[in-house]
Amino acid sequence: MHLAVAQLAVGEDLAQNTRRTIFFLEQAAHRGVDLVCFPEMSLTGYTPAILAAGNMNDLVRAALEELAAAGRRLWVGLIVGHGWWEEGALLNRATVLLPDGRQFHYDKIHLTEQEEKYFRRGARTLHFSVGDRRAGLIICRDQNDPLLARQLREEGAEILFILSAHYYSPKEARWKLEKNRALPIARAVENKMHVFLANTVGSHLGMVSLGNSLIVDPDGCVVAAAGESEETLLTLSLDKLSV
């Protein structure tokens, strides 16, 4: 089982974000990856013009169909973040698209104070089979809650994917960098799980994200890490236990 996280910049154009996602899927396929996790809200960003569009769900649905088709063609699964409207409420959603046709979604439970002004929190956890393993996923602020990761472990998850978009003012981004690196390591050690964290880089709506996507083993050792500014793909073969 060969898994990956993609660290990339999120733009304000959904079509361009979709093309960049497919580009990374193709790179993952060349490296023999079975499933790649993308950052939080990587399709739509937090772009007001996209999130407030009356046809946003139609646009996102079309993008997901395009990504699912690419995943089937390349035989690579993906987890991608995006906004979604449901029953009049905006959700911060992650959708899992597997090449065998299975699809799942998870809505962020622990919202930031800013997100609470616009988004509704999710209500259910998600875990699913990938190869012969069970995986769970959470989104960004969810990782602050140790009980949420523990619940997924108790439900059978051996792998934890974390979709993040650590956008802050430049000073705050630097100040919180070590905290944001420590949390996925803590969740890995506490639950004896592999943790795959995909974060954004670059600027978005006047904020910045300093990357530092990670792959962490169950002992808390960082087996792969990205820098602060580059778009990149981190991979780990769980069968060979090598980066």
How distant is the alpha carbon of residue 46 from its chain centre?
Answer: 14
**What pLDDT is stored for residue 182 in this prediction?**
97
What pLDDT sits at residue 75? 98
Measured torsion, CA atoms of residues 12, 42, 201, 76, in degrees rounded to the nearest 10 = -130
Is residue 242 assigned to a domain? no
Give residue 242's pLDDT. 42
pLDDT at 243: 41
182 CB-contact burial (10 Å; exposed 0-12 / middle 13-18 / buried 19+): exposed
Distance CA 151, CA 136 (A): 10
The single-letter DSSP state of residue 69 is: H
Look at residue 239 in the predicted model and tell me its pLDDT. 82
Residue 98 lies inside a defined structural domain of this protein: yes
Three-state DSSP class for 80? Answer: strand
- Structurally, how many domains does the chain consist of? 1
Is residue 243 one of the residues assigned to a domain?
no
- Which residues on neighbouring strands pair with residue 90, listed in sequence order? 85, 119
Report the CATH number that the domain containing residue 193 is assigned in CATH.
3.60.110.10
**pTM of the complete model beyond 0.85:** yes
Name the residue range of residue 129's domain.
Answer: 2-237
Report yes or no on 124 lying in a domain: yes
Instruction: Please report the pLDDT score of residue 241 as a whole number.
Output: 58
The low-confidence residues of the chain, meaning pLDDT below 50, are 242-243
Contact between residue 222 and residue 182 where contact means Cβ atoms under 8 Å apart: no
Any domain includes 130? yes
The residue assigned the tokens 């361009």 is 16
> Which one, of 89, 97, 166, lies nearest residue 137 by Cα?
97
In 52-77, which positions are buried (b, 16+ CB within 10 angstroms) versus exposed (e)? Answer: ebeebeebbeebbeebbebbeebebb
